Amino acid sequence: MVKHSSRIYLSQSALKQNFSFIREKIGHNPVISSVVKANAFGHGIGTFVPMAEKCGIRHFSVASSFEAWEVKEALTQPDSKVMIMGILYPDDLPWVIENEIEFFVFDFAQLERVKKVAQEVGKPAIIHLELETGGNRTGLPSAHLDKAIRFMSKNRDHFQFEGVCTHFAGIESLANQFRIQRQLQKFEEMYRKIKKSGYLPKLRHTACSAAALAFPETVMDLVRVGTAQFGLWPSPDIYNMHLQQTGKTKDSPIKRVMTWKTDVMHIKEVKKDQFVGYGTSFQAPRDMKVAVIPIGYSNGYPRTLSNRGYVLIHGKKAPVTGLINMNVFMVDVSQIPDVEIGDDVVLIGKQNNNTITIKSFTEVTNAINNELVSRLPAAIPRRAVR
């Protein structure tokens, strides 16, 4: 096998712990749908999905029919289900219905088209009606609800009414609570209307990670958990609410699943006053030794970490010197003895007693955790470890 310039390890034990913690928070009954859009938030669908199945997960959510196909390829359990929450092109509908993939419907015209294709395929479409509750992203407006329910009920041979759902507009931030409460009220009001019709869905669901961890009133029959399963807190607010609820001052009930590593490519002695790499952004303040790292912004390492990031070598922090290039960057290893070509370099993760957290990246770059991980290129090999 030809070697890639870096590798990502996924911890099975961390993942198991994270799902146990989520289960503890939501109780015994709700289905956990593992949200694996964006290549499982950069963790790699192909490696991650079987790991989640090992933890007992049998429901996966994605953002497109292409991602649904990726998950289908990765599944190892015959009873695992896939749900598309986002873009579903009409051309893909026959494949989706044929393969019993569940999907969100959020406008009336879509329902009519789905009915026609379901009829042609000869199988019912398994749908989740996404309701507009105030997020103003996707969602069926309440003015169209009666019409939609009547249409589905009249054509019930062609629909499996699997769920009604909504998505909160920023529940991870306490500043948005007034809006979230109104969304929840609106959802309940619309659900009462559906109930009155007598044509009922199997499941109701509204909760994402933040909702599932901190707002029990949002946990219904299924939760759609992305961020938290990877061991990432959705926000400081949600972490602080957990501490408050448990009366602790510090806790780490979820663990980062991902470790990202590469190795030292080259070592260079640099004389005082020399510049390192492109341009003049780093001038050696003294004689120093730098290690060249075979990773750059094209590999998902943010360019904004130029002169600001750290990596771990021999368990010690080595600061980035100069600009992050497309395929390489340099770090200062003057204070780390005996660094050699081929030594392990930790970009994200733990080495001895030091850790590079995903949060440490985002504090510098203003990106959110999810942005950093979801942009890690699919070409980096992922491997499950204990």
Which residue, 63, 44, 42, is CA-closest to 372? Answer: 42
H/E element, 118: helix 108-121
| Among 22-30, 223-231, 244-252, 361-369, the segment contacting ligand PLP (CB under 6 A) | 223-231
- Which residues ranging from 137 to 156 are in contact with ligand PLP (CB under 6 A)? none
The CB density around residue 279, as the number of other CB atoms within 10 Å, is: 10
For the bound state, the minimum distance from the C-beta of residue 270 to ligand PLP, rounded and expressed in Å, comes to: 42
Cα-to-chain-centroid distance, residue 383:
17
Euclidean distance between CA atoms 2 and 18, whole angstroms: 34
The CB density around residue 51, as the number of other CB atoms within 10 Å, is: 25
**Residues 6+ positions from 262 with CB-CB distance below 8 Å:** 5, 6, 7, 293, 294, 295, 345, 347
Nearer to ligand PLP, 74 or 210 (CB): 210
Tell which one of 34, 47, 65, 227 touches ligand PLP (CB under 6 A): 227
For the bound state, the minimum distance from the C-beta of residue 134 to ligand PLP, rounded and expressed in Å, comes to: 14
Query: Is the CB of residue 288 less than 8 Å from the CB of residue 296?
Result: no
Query: Is the CB of residue 294 less than 8 Å from the CB of residue 6?
Result: yes
Nearer to ligand PLP, 231 or 322 (CB): 231
Nearer to ligand PLP, 124 or 226 (CB): 226
Give yes or no for residue 234 binding ligand PLP (CB under 6 A): yes
Give yes or no for residue 201 binding ligand PLP (CB under 6 A): no
Q: With contacts defined by CB under 6 A, how many residues of the chain interact with ligand PLP?
A: 12
Tell which one of 224, 242, 317, 382 touches ligand PLP (CB under 6 A): 224
The three-state secondary structure class of 111 is helix
For the bound state, the minimum distance from the C-beta of residue 359 to ligand PLP, rounded and expressed in Å, comes to: 15
Euclidean distance between CA atoms 191 and 140, whole angstroms: 12
Which residue, 175, 180, 203, 173, is CA-closest to 133? Answer: 180
For the bound state, the minimum distance from the C-beta of residue 107 to ligand PLP, rounded and expressed in Å, comes to: 16
Q: What is the DSSP string of 34-51?
A: EE-HHHHHTT-HHHHHHH
Give yes or no for residue 47 binding ligand PLP (CB under 6 A): no
| Among 64-72, 145-153, 202-210, 292-300, the segment contacting ligand PLP (CB under 6 A) | 202-210
Nearer to ligand PLP, 121 or 368 (CB): 368
- Which residues ranging from 70 to 109 are in contact with ligand PLP (CB under 6 A)? 85
Report CA torsion sign: 190, 195, 200, 204: positive
H/E element, 69: helix 65-74
For the bound state, the minimum distance from the C-beta of residue 23 to ligand PLP, rounded and expressed in Å, comes to: 15
The CB density around residue 49, as the number of other CB atoms within 10 Å, is: 26
Give yes or no for residue 235 binding ligand PLP (CB under 6 A): no
Give yes or no for residue 330 binding ligand PLP (CB under 6 A): no
> Which amino acid, one-letter code, is at 341?
I
| Among 113-121, 204-212, 244-252, 286-294, the segment contacting ligand PLP (CB under 6 A) | 204-212
Euclidean distance between CA atoms 293 and 342, whole angstroms: 10
Give yes or no for residue 226 binding ligand PLP (CB under 6 A): yes
| Among 3-11, 74-82, 206-214, 297-305, the segment contacting ligand PLP (CB under 6 A) | 206-214
For the bound state, the minimum distance from the C-beta of residue 209 to ligand PLP, rounded and expressed in Å, comes to: 3
Query: Is the CB of residue 28 less than 8 Å from the CB of residue 359?
Result: no
Tell which one of 167, 204, 317, 382 touches ligand PLP (CB under 6 A): 167
Give yes or no for residue 134 binding ligand PLP (CB under 6 A): no
Structure tokens that stand for 75 in this block: 């599944």
Give yes or no for residue 208 binding ligand PLP (CB under 6 A): yes
Query: Is the CB of residue 331 less than 8 Å from the CB of residue 291?
Result: yes
For the bound state, the minimum distance from the C-beta of residue 333 to ligand PLP, rounded and expressed in Å, comes to: 36
Give yes or no for residue 209 binding ligand PLP (CB under 6 A): yes
Binding site for ligand PLP (CB under 6 A): 35, 37, 85, 167, 208-210, 224-227, 234
